[in-house]
Amino acid sequence: MPQIPHHNDKIHKKQAVASPKVKHEHKLINKPETTHNYNNLNNLIEKYIFYLQYEKNVSPKTIENYSLWLNRFSEYIGDINIEKIKSMHALDFRIHLKNTWLSIKTINYHIVAIRSFLKFLLKNDIDCISPDKLELSKIPAREVNYLEDDEVKSVLEMPSKFWKNPLQIARDEAILRFLYWTWLRVTELISLKKSNIKVDSKQFTVIWKWSKIRAIFMTNQAREKLKKYLLSRADDSEFIFISLSKNSFGQTLSRNSIEEIVKRYASLAGIKKRVTPHTLRHSFATTLIKKWADIRAVQTLLGHSSITTTQIYTHIDDKHLQKVHDLLDE
């Protein structure tokens, strides 16, 4: 089952609304006639979403995204018999998406969803085109945005320099250290409950993509900040990281709230480049690679399903090695 990245929040926000305005209409080539029977597209999509939700037990966000992408395909091509869909129709759909100003990466998400859907159909003995006929577009290699060690230190120190409220300081210090030292994704962080963690233990687990269980390890610094924060709390909310504002006190923080917290402290630290929660995750991973950590171990700690995702950090290591080598010429 292909997996969908969660680290790019902007893409998901765009997909949650209606499709953008079309630059110019691309008409489907030889659009098949619509008929109504068991193997029509909408009926099969509905069964596939049910399968993802109740048999594969995937996350609600994945259900939302796959439903969006497959329904876009159905709206474009029509509720036709699955056997009448050919690879050229999928190509037409790709061109249509391109004309709506979607990025190559976002278009690939649609194709991944369609391929996964087709694999499900073939697995259940329903004739359709081969998923292998739908190729993904090549996208440029991703640049890893990370902070140097001194920049990270400055960001982590900002809450105590900016706030006077002890609870605000304790919460934000814990958030920043959990993002950096434990490599939690934002969705994992805001979902944490008090029952998930024993502060005297260095390890806890989270449920991540495709309902897999991932082990998380806390450093002593992260544990101490968490203890201090929880001891400062006087509310009965089950969530660990909560809103402290008057109107929403005790409620779990949103993704946007976490992003704003990180952005604020990076700005206060004088960092000009864009800094997100994922930047902190990238930063610690980069630090480990520079210190010769085994890439397979880094893959496990980050929760990457594929080693190719983790390998983006080896390019950073190559640059580091070049700097070390250049010292020989000085």
Interacting residues of 60 by C-beta distance below 8 A, sequence separation 6+: none
| Residue 26 is a catalytic residue | no
CA dist 241 → 194, 258, 279 (Å): 9, 10, 20
Helices (H), 55-148: 60-77, 87-99, 104-123
Over 50: is that where the pLDDT of 3 sits? no
| Residue 185 is a catalytic residue | yes
Which member of 48, 109, 180, 313 is catalytic? 313
Burial classification of residue 8, based on how many CB atoms lie within 10 Å of its CB (0-12 exposed, 13-18 middle, 19 or more buried): middle
Interacting residues of 66 by C-beta distance below 8 A, sequence separation 6+: 4, 48, 49, 52, 113, 116, 117
Q: For 52-86, write each residue's pLDDT tens digit.
A: 999 988 888 889 999 999 999 999 999 999 999 99
Which member of 6, 12, 278, 282 is catalytic? 278
Over 50: is that where the pLDDT of 95 sits? yes
284-289 CB contacts, 8 Å cutoff, 24+ apart: 284/152, 284/180, 284/181, 284/183, 285/146, 285/183, 285/310, 285/313, 286/144, 286/146, 286/313, 286/316, 287/149, 289/313, 289/314, 289/316, 289/317
Highest mean pLDDT out of 102-106, 171-175, 209-213, 310-314: 171-175
pLDDT band for position 5 (cuts 50, 70, 90) = very low
- Range 9-133: architecture per CATH: Orthogonal Bundle (1.10)
CATH 1.10.150.130 domain range(s) in the chain? 9-133
Complete DSSP assignment for 190-236: HH-BGGG--TT-SEEEEE-GGG-EEEEE--HHHHHHHHHHHHH--S-
Q: For 124-142, write each residue's pLDDT tens digit.
A: 999 999 999 999 888 776 6
Burial 163-175 (b: 16+ CB within 10 A, else e): eeeeeebbbbbbb
pLDDT for position 309 = 57
Which member of 255, 304, 315, 320 is catalytic? 304
Arithmetic mean of pLDDT, 1-27: 45
Over 80: is that where the pLDDT of 325 sits? no
Q: Which position has the token pair 């329903």?
A: 126
| Residue 209 is a catalytic residue | yes
Torsion of CA 131, 36, 51, 77, to 10 degrees: 40
| Residue 223 is a catalytic residue | no
pLDDT for position 10 = 41
Structure tokens that stand for 54 in this block: 């109740």
The larger pLDDT score, comparing residue 96 to residue 293, is at 96
pLDDT for position 48 = 96
Radius of gyration of the chain (CA): 23
pLDDT for position 15 = 43
Over 80: is that where the pLDDT of 322 sits? no
CA dist., res. 276 & res. 286, Å (int): 15
**CB distance 206 to 220 below 8 Å:** no
CA dist., res. 315 & res. 290, Å (int): 10
| Residue 281 is a catalytic residue | yes
Structure tokens that stand for 24 in this block: 């110019």
| Residue 38 is a catalytic residue | no
Which member of 89, 171, 177, 209 is catalytic? 209
pLDDT for position 156 = 94
Which member of 89, 110, 281, 282 is catalytic? 281
Q: For 248-273, write each residue's pLDDT tens digit.
A: 898 999 999 999 999 999 999 999 99
pLDDT for position 315 = 56
Q: Position 240: which residue type?
A: I
**CB distance 209 to 187 below 8 Å:** no
The larger pLDDT score, comparing residue 9 to residue 309, is at 309
Which member of 185, 214, 223, 282 is catalytic? 185
Domain 149-329 is classified in which CATH homologous superfamily? Intergrase catalytic core (1.10.443.10)
CATH 1.10.443.10 domain range(s) in the chain? 149-329
pLDDT for position 199 = 80
Residues in the chain: 330
Over 80: is that where the pLDDT of 17 sits? no
| Of residues 278, 276, 284, 264, the one with CA closest to residue 172 | 264
**CB distance 118 to 162 below 8 Å:** no
| Of residues 81, 21, 52, 32, the one with CA closest to residue 210 | 52
